[in-house]
Amino acid sequence: MTRPVRFLALLFPNVTQLDLTGPAQFFSSPPGASVDLVWKDRSPVVTDAGFAIVPTVDFATAPQADVLMIPGGQGVFELLEDDETLDFVRRQAAGARFITSVCTGAFLLGAAGLLVGRRATTHWNSHAMLELLGAVPVEERVVRDGDLITGGGVTAGLDFALTVLAEVFDPQTARAVQLGYEYDPAPPFDAGHPSRPEADAGQVSSTLQTRRELREPVVRRAAARLAGRVEPVG
């Protein structure tokens, strides 16, 4: 892609901040890349880690993204019926070269009607629910389907970001960023996914249940709105 390249990430209340800050760090690094964080206004936004991050642009003044990125977290489920946000996401997506999400950010893309028939992934704790919005859920850490690139839960955002950089620029740029941020992971435990040997089965089942109880009603309402939405005649 011709530089400069504009990355635009949604920053909303109760975002899982690492979904956003991990990829934002990687995206900020290549020459010619710029990263903006966008919300309805430019007041500081409180994240799920308790501290606030300041948007760099608002919905009204945001530049057209080359790469649109939606992070996840419980806050995303408050937005699935928020027309102001959904309209902004649709508008940006229409002009973006890549439409992307990390973690449960995929549900906002889904509620905006952008995942119908598309292969996508999300956090393991909510993966099965993605189908309700018409997506084809794929159990991989990073999934590409044409101009749509989605990452799994939270820290999958780092692997996602390298994948995006390789597509947007080239593999050499992605490898340079990986080296610069010393991304040579060596977790001291092997519990990072339900499939891993040290993952606690009880935690997995209780998390799946609580997330479904908490999130499925609003995902179903978003799906119903989507099904009833009359597309403007072009």
> If you count them, how many residues does the chain have?
234
The Cα 168–Cα 173 span in angstroms is: 9
Name the minimum Å distance from CB 81 to a copy of itself. 26
Of the candidates 75, 81, 3, the residue with the CA atom closest to the CA atom of residue 39:
75
The CA-to-CA distance between both ends of the chain, in Å, stands at 28
Stretch near a copy of itself under the rule CB under 8 A, chosen from 19-27, 88-96, 108-116, 131-139? 19-27
Which position among 103, 115, 165, 222 bears the catalytic label? 103
**Amino acid making up residue 135:** A
Question: Using an 8 Å Cβ cutoff, are 54 and 44 in contact?
Answer: yes
Which of 16, 100, 126, 150 touches a copy of itself by CB under 8 A? Answer: 16
103 in active site: yes
Strand duo 148-151 + 142-145: pairing: antiparallel
Q: Of residues 85, 163, 169, 222, which one binds a copy of itself by CB under 8 A?
A: 163
Q: Which is nearer to a copy of itself, 73 or 113 (CB)?
A: 73
Nearest Cα residue to 47 out of 71, 22, 19, 12: 12
Nearest CB to a copy of itself, comparing residues 71 and 110: 71
Residues that bind a copy of itself (CB under 8 A): 16-18, 21-22, 24-25, 28, 34-35, 37, 44, 48-56, 103, 123-124, 141-142, 152-156, 158-159, 162-163, 166, 171-172, 174-176, 178-189, 191-194, 196, 198-200, 203-204, 207
